[in-house]
């Protein structure tokens, strides 16, 4: 395959793990899946966790291991959030799949994978629980969702719940290095740090950002990554926090205005501000916690719709005030 053709293949699909042993992170959860694969009797399952950490990949790898490549396509039905999944789909498509007779290895079951299951309507979930009961001898269900509490209680009680956590930086780095080596990507050590920073534990986001930066700009450096991802550069935000720590409100507001005029949304600025404040070593622990608390309150107001420059400016003023001697305010 030529290099030009490689660009047309999303790396998240090209390097998607096919077997359980290739999965990155969540070792305890993967061990449970390996035990299920050895036993051969898969229960109904709910895979819960943030996007891009391997929930769907894990259940697909389990299905490959249980069923083998010969019957995988026939014996697995995968529906994601882009499919219509109302009551009609449950009554027709899922039910007809459950009724379909397929020659399977001994002790194995057909598998229905419902991605983004927490976006299914309550009515569809209610209709599904009866289908799960009737066809449990031949068909098992795997629900991948971001929030398991949005799955109705009757379905939760019928399922084993597996929780996936965000991937650690070292796990992201290992897989990014592997992909960069395979694709002959020119990348700096700082480039890896920028990819990890922008992904926030999301492997899919990290790999997509790597491919986008490499395809668009060639050499993968921090500046290139933040340009492609269109996120405020952490160094600029770090300098803003340093101005707040020095109680230099004019300089801090000037840096905020610079970010705002670059076109970044309030939510982008506040999220980067939070991540930089959390990871900075220039603040003592007590002050860092106060900064994070104040940033959190402002983040909440922004998510409620008050996403203005005045809101962010008020935050900067409050952060600066924390570093000023309280005696100054005495009358």
Give the pLDDT confidence of 231-247 residue by residue, as tens digits.
888 888 989 999 998 88
Average pLDDT over residues 62-89: 81
Q: Tens digits of per-residue pLDDT, 187-220? A: 988 889 999 988 888 899 899 999 999 988 888 8
Domain boundaries, the chain: 26-163, 169-229, 234-323
Query: Is there a shared CATH topology between the 169-229 domain and the 234-323 domain?
Result: no
Position 102 confidence tier, pLDDT thresholds 50, 70, 90? confident
- Assess whether pLDDT exceeds 60 at residue 5: no
**How does residue 256 score in pLDDT terms, banded at 50, 70 and 90?**
very high
What distance in Å separates the CA atoms of residue 302 and residue 293, rounded to the nearest whole number?
A: 14
In this structure, are residues 226 and 278 in contact, taking their beta carbons and an 8 Å threshold?
no
Burial 120-136 (b: 16+ CB within 10 A, else e): beeebbebbbebbeebe
The HSE-up count of residue 184 (CA atoms within 13 Å, CB side) is 5
What is the rounded distance in angstroms from the CA atom of residue 47 to the CA atom of residue 145? 6
Cβ–Cβ < 8 Å for 209, 228? yes
Query: CA nearest 64: which of 75, 52, 50, 79?
Result: 75
Instruction: Supply 172's token pair.
Output: 């992201």
Give buried/exposed letters for 292-316 (b at 16+ CB in 10 A, else e): eebbeebbebbeeeeeeeeebbebb
- Among 84, 156, 90, smallest CA distance to 119 is for 84
Fill in the DSSP letter of residue 166.
P
* Domain 234-323 annotated CATH 1.20.272.10: yes
Of the candidates 162, 139, 164, which has an alpha carbon nearest to the alpha carbon of residue 36?
162
Terminal Cα-to-Cα distance of the chain (whole angstroms)? 75
Structure tokens at 225: 């990554």
Span 169-229 CATH architecture: Orthogonal Bundle (1.10)
Buried b (16+ CB within 10 A) or exposed e, 143-158: bbbeebeebeeebeeb
Third-level CATH fold of 26-163: Rossmann fold (3.40.50)
What's this model's pTM, rounded to 2 decimal places? 0.79
Q: Extract long-range pairs of 150-157: CB within 8 Å, 24+ residues apart.
A: 150/118, 151/46, 151/117, 151/118, 151/125, 152/122, 152/125, 152/126, 154/126, 154/129, 155/46, 155/125, 155/128, 155/129, 156/46
> Is the confidence at residue 1, as pLDDT, over 50?
no
Selected residue with higher pLDDT from 326 and 196: 196
């Amino acid at each position: 395959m030529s290099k030009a053709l490689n660009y047309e293949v999303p790396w998240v699909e090209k390097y998607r793990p096919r077997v359980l042993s290739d999965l990155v992170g969540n070792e305890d959860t993967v061990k449970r899946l390996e035990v299920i694969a050895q036993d051969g009797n898969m229960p109904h399952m709910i895979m819960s966790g943030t996007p891009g950490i391997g929930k769907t990949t894990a259940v697909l790898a389990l299905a490959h291991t249980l069923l083998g490549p010969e019957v995988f396509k026939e014996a697995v039905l995968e529906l994601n959030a882009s499919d219509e999944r109302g009551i009609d789909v449950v009554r027709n498509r899922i039910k007809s799949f459950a009724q379909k007779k397929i020659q399977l290895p001994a002790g194995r079951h057909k598998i229905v994978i419902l991605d983004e299951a927490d976006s299914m309507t309550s009515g569809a979930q209610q209709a599904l629980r009866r289908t799960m009961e009737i066809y449990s001898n031949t068909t098992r269900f795997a629900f991948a969702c971001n929030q398991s509490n949005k799955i109705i209680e009757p379905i939760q009680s019928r399922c084993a719940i597996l929780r996936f956590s965000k991937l650690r930086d070292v796990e992201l780095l290992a897989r990014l290095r592997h992909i960069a080596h395979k694709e002959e990507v020119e990348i700096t050590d700082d480039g890896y740090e920028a990819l990890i920073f922008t992904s926030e534990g999301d492997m899919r986001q990290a790999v997509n950002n790597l491919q986008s930066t490499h395809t668009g700009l060639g050499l993968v450096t921090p500046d290139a990554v933040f340009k492609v991802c269109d996120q405020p550069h952490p160094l600029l935000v770090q300098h803003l926090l340093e101005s707040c720590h020095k109680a230099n409100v004019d300089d801090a507001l000037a840096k905020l205005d610079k970010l705002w005029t670059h076109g970044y949304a309030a939510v982008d600025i506040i999220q980067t501000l939070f991540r930089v404040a959390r990871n900075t070593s220039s603040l003592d622990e007590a002050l860092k916690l106060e900064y994070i608390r104040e940033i959190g309150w402002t983040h909440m107001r922004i998510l409620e719709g008050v996403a203005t420059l005045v809101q962010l400016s008020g935050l900067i003023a409050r952060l600066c005030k924390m570093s000023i001697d309280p005696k100054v305010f005495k009358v």
